[in-house]
Amino acid sequence: MSQWKIREKTVHKTDLFQIIEQTITGKNKTKKYEIVERRPTTIVFPLTESFEIYLLSQYRSLFNKTIIEAVSGHVDNSESPFKSAKRELKEEAGLIANTWEELLRVDASASVIRSVMHLFLARDLEETDSSPEEGEEIKIIKMPLSDAIEKIEKREITSGPTVLGLLYIDKLIKEKKL
């Protein structure tokens, strides 16, 4: 058990995140930190039987460019990560998966950002209509997983959760676990 006493106070709140002021008191020391706490996210990797992966090409104003990334989204307050993953897959990629596996549950950061990411593998896929949110301009890309790995090596795919998920799936395939 820690020797530190931790107090937290929310100083700013939005729909997607809140900023928390954290005060840690210990042996004759007090430290203050700011934490950005973000809602949990789901990242979905739809994979075909022939190891083709569906990814999205999408403009992201944060970077002022179009990036290639996995299907992803925030978990709504009233839903589980699994329900969020199913919803995002249908909305963004126009896919329904009959087989699901949670691959990983990871923290976004070990310091300033407090957020959990749930990475799901979606298999046994059926195509349906997509319904992106207003303002989302999404192009669905289907490619062999090996091509996606090459795009990581060429720095054409740089989204952290996407890179992590693709490399993990590639590892599972090489180990004959998929």
Domains of the chain: 5-37 (no CATH), 40-174 (3.90.79.10)
Mean pLDDT, the chain, integer: 94
N-term to C-term CA, the chain: 40
Alpha-carbon distance of 93 to 116, in angstroms, equals: 22
pLDDT in tens, 50-62: 999 999 999 998 8
pTM greater than the 0.75 cutoff: yes
Is the pLDDT higher at 113 or at 135? 113
Q: What is the pLDDT of residue 2?
A: 67
Of 29-33, 98-102, 133-137, 163-167, which gets the smallest average pLDDT?
A: 133-137
- Looking at per-residue pLDDT, the higher value among 27 and 43 belongs to 43
Most confident of 58-62, 114-118, 132-136: 114-118
Q: Which residue has the higher pLDDT, 133 or 130?
A: 130
- Tell me which DSSP letter residue 47 carries: B
CA triple 136-123-54, angle to 5 deg:
35
Q: In whole angstroms, give the CA distance from residue 175 to residue 131.
A: 36
Q: Which amino acid is at 129?
A: D
Q: What is the arithmetic mean of pLDDT over 134-151? A: 92
User: Tokens representing 121?
Assistant: 């593998």
Cα separation, 118 vs 60, whole angstroms: 21
Does 40 have pLDDT greater than 60?
yes
Q: Are 67 and 58 in contact (CB under 8 A)?
A: yes
